[in-house]
Amino acid sequence: MNHNLKLKKPLAVFDLETTGVNTAKDRIVEVCVAKAMPSGELVVKTYRVNPGVPIPLETSLIHGIYDEDVKDAPSFKSIARTLAQFLEGCDLAGFNSNRFDIPLLVEEFLRANVDFDMKNRRMVDVQRIYHLMEPRNLSAAYRHFCGKELVGAHGAEADTLATFEVLDTIVQKHAGQTIRDEGRKRDFVIDNDVETLDAIGRNNNVDLAGRMVFNDKGEEVINFGKHAGKPVLDVLKNEPSFYDWVQKGEFSLDTKRRLTEIRLRMFTGALNGTHSRGPSREK
């Protein structure tokens, strides 16, 4: 297979299938590299990898790789040097690779004690280029769904009416269509009722700014800084000064209000002899 890229050195376009989306803790289960050479040649190599940890079912359902499929595959450590040699002298490219694939790949090399030098490597994120070429804004949505140009964009009335028309067109023309929310690992069917439309757009934020979010257990957890991922109640209990720091800091009033509500619930729970958690939320 050949290509049309003008290259001074090889460009390794790659993609990872993994156990999850946490670049610090998740592991690679498959890596494919399409190495584009300056000569026009394209060399493709694919490796299945035993991550050494169970692959969550919800993740397997997305990429189709299950524990059974990789039980006899080599570990990343055993292929790390071979892969690093194949990538020697290459620039790197991928889809959302700057935010996910490259950080996770480098993390795996570090865990395998393989020196993978990122100096002097160019990084081409195809997703970023695509999003810049196809803006994700109201004018683009109006053009895509309604087939018209938005006149008077960024005026409140024009934007409001265009938003209404986009929504009206979606429920009219796309009712019954299934869409996938990869972040929540859920499928939604577009339907012409507000409850369904609300479910599609709803996030797991506790406060509107997303400084606190609900985890899979329905617990409120911190979503920023050194306490990221920790239950809010635990942080308030173990570091009481955190509450005052937020209240005095440049956080939204809504964030401060929600934190106060959780803190009051903590005191109420203590008085009742319980350690209350947030409401259970659907995944």
pLDDT-flagged residues of the chain (< 50): 275-283
Residue 29 and residue 111 in one domain: yes
CA distance 88 to 86: 6
Structural domains of the chain, count: 3
- What pLDDT is stored for residue 128 in this prediction? 82
Residue 227 and residue 151 in one domain: no
Does a structural domain hold residue 281?
Answer: no
Residue in this structure with the two tokens 């050195």, named with its chain if needed: 9
Does a structural domain hold residue 283?
Answer: no
Q: Tell me the CB-side half-sphere exposure of residue 195, using CA atoms within 13 A.
A: 0
Residue 143 tokens, joined: 């053009």
Domain that holds residue 117: 11-130
Backbone angles phi, psi at 225, to 5 degrees: 65, -160
Residue 195 and residue 219 in one domain: no
Q: Are 108 and 78 in contact (CB under 8 A)?
A: no
Q: Strand pairing partners for 202?
A: none
Residue 52 and residue 126 in one domain: yes
Does a structural domain hold residue 4?
Answer: no
180 SS3 class: strand
- What pLDDT is stored for residue 276 in this prediction? 44
Does a structural domain hold residue 27?
Answer: yes
- What pLDDT is stored for residue 249 in this prediction? 93
- What pLDDT is stored for residue 229 in this prediction? 94
CA distance 65 to 139: 39
Among residues 82, 109, 130, the one where a domain terminates is 130
- What pLDDT is stored for residue 89 in this prediction? 94
Q: What is the pLDDT of residues 211-234, one digit of tens each?
A: 999 998 999 999 999 999 999 999
DSSP letter (8 states) at residue 276? -
CATH of the domain at 91: 3.30.420.10
Residue 125 and residue 166 in one domain: no
- What pLDDT is stored for residue 270 in this prediction? 60
Does a structural domain hold residue 3?
Answer: no
CA distance 83 to 257: 51
Residue in this structure with the two tokens 């196809």, named with its chain if needed: 134
Does a structural domain hold residue 54?
Answer: yes
Residue 15 and residue 126 in one domain: yes
CA distance 74 to 28: 11
Residue 100 and residue 22 in one domain: yes
- Helix (H) / strand (E) element for 33: namely strand 28-36
Among residues 130, 147, 179, the one where a domain terminates is 130
Among residues 201, 221, 239, the one where a domain terminates is 201
Residue 30 and residue 119 in one domain: yes
Does a structural domain hold residue 282?
Answer: no
Does a structural domain hold residue 224?
Answer: yes
Confidence (pTM): 0.60
Residue 160 and residue 111 in one domain: no
Residue 221 and residue 189 in one domain: no
